[in-house]
Amino acid sequence: MDDIEQKMRSFGFTDKEMGFFIEYREKDPKNTFIYQLKGLRRVFYSLSLIYTLLVCFWFYICIHDDSNEIAVATLIMLFIAAVIYITTPFKLGLKAARFLNEE
């Protein structure tokens, strides 16, 4: 077991998450843990930007539109945010960003 793998496990990465990292590393030796973590950190920052833009757009709608459009926009924004959260590794990206910031 690598030193970085032990640090990741002690940081809170689960066995399932570590299994994904190991599987990708075995497919291509260039995919080191640090390389994968940096990729996940990029995903996290990109998704954070998308969420921020959604919130800014929602505030714009709240300021300039009537109450019916605000309700519809809120439902659409919640749906989009839920789909993004479910279909992307946002939580894992957050762990990766925190881990790399502490290292």
What does each of the 103 residues of the chain score in pLDDT, given as a tens digit?
Answer: 578 888 898 888 989 999 899 898 888 888 888 999 999 999 999 999 999 999 998 888 888 877 778 888 889 999 999 999 999 998 999 999 999 998 7
97 C-beta neighbours (distance < 10 Å), count: 19
Distance CA 17, CA 69 (A): 41
As separate numbers, helices (DSSP H) first and strands (DSSP E) second, the chain gives: 5, 0
Distance CA 2, CA 33 (A): 10
Q: What is the number of domains present in the chain?
A: 1
pLDDT computed for residue 1 by the predictor: 58
**Which domain does 27 fall in, by range?**
3-102
pLDDT computed for residue 63 by the predictor: 87
| CA distance readout (Å), 61 to 3, 30, 80, 84, 95 | 50, 46, 16, 21, 32
What pTM was estimated for this model as a whole? Answer: 0.82
